[in-house]
Amino acid sequence: MSSIETLTVHGLGRVAEPYRDIVPPIHLASTFERAADGSYPGGRVYARDGSPAYIEAEEVLRQLEGGSQALLFASGHAAATAVLQALEAGDRVVAPQSMYWALRKWLLDRAEHGHIQLAFYDNADIDDLRRQLAAAPTRLLWIETPANPTWEITDIRTASTLAREHGAMTLVDSTVPTPVLSQPLALGADIVLHSATKYLNGHSDVVAGALATREDSPLWQRVRAMRNLGGAVLGPFEAWLLLRGMRTLHLRVRAACASALKLATELEAHPAIAQALYPGLASHPGHATAAAQMSGGFGGMLSIRVKGGEAAAREVAARVRVFKRATSLGSVESLIEHRASVEGPGTRCPDDLLRLSVGIEPVEDLLADLQQALQV
């Protein structure tokens, strides 16, 4: 494989005939002509089965993750639920306590209606994970690291080994670190998930999801079928925009990492901050594990807990001028939100927490913006 930098910039290195396009063309067709004998000489039947618009983006992602195959989906949630819907009825899933709130809610709903068995483990406690895996036969271990929005770290290699010993497959939600910083398949995971809306696209103009697999397993075949049968397919223009976004992935991620570390370091000592949550800080409980399994940075996401509780946190978010008050992460612009109010009833997020997605603006501007917002 080429370096990550060259792969993201050039993709597959193809130029399109007959005009020798440097930028890949968009394939808009929804259906494809059969030959007179009923065969498909173009190798395609119908776009929902697999559009040629996906070829390059899926292959770039496959190579970035070091997997055997990759699939695009209509959203990160669609990609996640396709894996869970591919399980057999009654299969047991062990998931982290801290994870994307909408998927946690969906898991609880599936368990309540008897579709799956569900157990949760403490993200940062391998002993707790060991106990949960040993408690009953498990089909799938779900890992999210760093975990949104409190950024706990799970040891992927150790967790994947434990899952394999108990007959379970491992999926890692690697949306935050991206392939630039983390390679879960090389650490023993079976499937990697991305909300491609976030860092992979990086411009807040696409909703997309993606999966990459270490091997073409029976579960993966069912996941592929779920995309087709469930219709969770990405549009061709969105696939093209995603590929466009990935061309600058390494630059955006590394810029965000450098700024996030600077902000976390400064904010940790700020008198208005009760706690800064960022795995790049030496004070973070998972710092050593993160350093061992992430290369080149600790991600562009951090959270701060504001002294004075929920009211004070909301006031800080109201006073920012550069940061945008919006949901999402991983784009070129920096975002801030009071996460507990976004997640609503049942949230596990502290009510004094503000989640920050660091973009690519000069860090001096971001720091000045937060400092003025934090003034009492």
Q: How many CA atoms lie within 13 A of 351 on its CB side?
A: 9
Q: Is pLDDT above 60 for 25?
A: yes
Coarse DSSP helix, strand, coil percentages of the chain, rounded to the nearest 5 percent: 40, 15, 45
Alpha-carbon span 346 to 356, nearest angstrom: 21
The boundaries of the domain holding residue 368 are 249-374
Alpha-carbon span 239 to 338, nearest angstrom: 31
Same domain, residue pair 128 and 183:
yes
Same domain, residue pair 216 and 321:
no
Same domain, residue pair 221 and 241:
yes
Q: CA 360, 362, 366: angle at the middle one, nearest 5?
A: 95
Report the CATH number that the domain containing residue 166 is assigned in CATH: 3.40.640.10
Average pLDDT of the residues in 266-282: 98
Same domain, residue pair 314 and 331:
yes
Q: Is pLDDT above 80 for 2?
A: no
Contact 72, 234 (CB under 8 A): yes
Q: Is pLDDT above 90 for 12?
A: no
Report the CATH number that the domain containing residue 307 is assigned in CATH: 3.90.1150.10
pLDDT tens-digit map of 80-114 = 999 999 999 999 999 999 999 999 999 999 999 99
The sign of the torsion formed by the CA atoms of 301, 181, 171, 84 equals positive
* Last residue in a domain, options 182, 215, 246: 246
Give Cβ neighbours of residue 230 (< 8 Å, ≥ 6 apart): 78, 82, 85
Q: What is the pLDDT of residue 203?
A: 97
Q: How distant, in Å, are the alpha carbons of 23, 52, 220, 238, 248 from that of 26? A: 9, 9, 27, 10, 19
Q: Is pLDDT above 90 for 14?
A: no
Domain count, the chain: 2
Alpha-carbon span 197 to 216, nearest angstrom: 25
Same domain, residue pair 256 and 233:
no
Which 8-state DSSP code applies to residue 53?
Answer: G
* Structure token pair of residue 340: 């507990």
Same domain, residue pair 349 and 236:
no
Arithmetic mean of pLDDT over the chain:
96
Q: What is the pLDDT of residue 259?
A: 98
Same domain, residue pair 282 and 232:
no
Average pLDDT of the residues in 333-340: 98
Alpha-carbon span 376 to 373, nearest angstrom: 8
Same domain, residue pair 211 and 260:
no
Say what the pTM is: 0.95
- In this prediction, residue 251 has a pLDDT band, given cuts at 50, 70 and 90, of very high
Structure-derived torsion over alpha carbons of residues 341, 196, 79, 145, reported in degrees to the nearest 10 = -70
* Structure token pair of residue 165: 């010993």
* Last residue in a domain, options 214, 231, 246: 246
Radius of gyration of the chain (CA): 21
Cβ–Cβ contacts within 10 Å for residue 146, how many?
A: 31
Q: What is the pLDDT of residue 376?
A: 62
Same domain, residue pair 269 and 228:
no
Q: Give the residue from 124, 82, 70 showing the smallest Cα distance to 99.
A: 124
Residue with tokens 């792969």: 7
Alpha-carbon span 41 to 51, nearest angstrom: 15
* Last residue in a domain, options 194, 215, 246: 246
Q: Is pLDDT above 90 for 160?
A: yes
Same domain, residue pair 278 and 208:
no
Identify the residue with better confidence: 9 or 63.
63
Q: Is pLDDT above 60 for 1?
A: no
pLDDT tens-digit map of 41-54 = 998 999 898 889 99
* Structure token pair of residue 191: 């499937």
Helix intervals (H) in 66-167: 76-85, 101-112, 126-135, 156-165
Q: Give the residue from 294, 312, 293 showing the smallest Cα distance to 373.
A: 312
Strand partners, 162: none
pLDDT tens-digit map of 305-324 = 999 999 999 999 999 999 99
Q: Is pLDDT above 90 for 204?
A: yes
Contact 196, 210 (CB under 8 A): yes
Q: Is pLDDT above 80 for 16?
A: no
- In this prediction, residue 11 has a pLDDT band, given cuts at 50, 70 and 90, of confident
Give Cβ neighbours of residue 3 (< 8 Å, ≥ 6 apart): none
Residue numbers annotated as active site? 48, 100, 173, 198
Q: CA 25, 30, 35: angle at the middle one, nearest 5?
A: 100
Give Cβ neighbours of residue 36 (< 8 Å, ≥ 6 apart): none
Q: What is the pLDDT of residue 4?
A: 86
pLDDT tens-digit map of 166-183 = 999 999 999 999 999 999
In single-letter form, the type of residue at position 64 comes to: L
Q: Is pLDDT above 90 for 9?
A: no
Q: How distant, in Å, are the alpha carbons of 69, 178, 325, 345 from that of 342? A: 35, 24, 11, 9
Question: Does 236 sit behind a cis peptide bond, omega within 30 degrees of 0 on the bond before it?
Answer: no
Same domain, residue pair 163 and 87:
yes
Q: Is pLDDT above 60 for 216?
A: yes
Alpha-carbon span 191 to 224, nearest angstrom: 13
Same domain, residue pair 333 and 184:
no
Average pLDDT of the residues in 143-163: 98
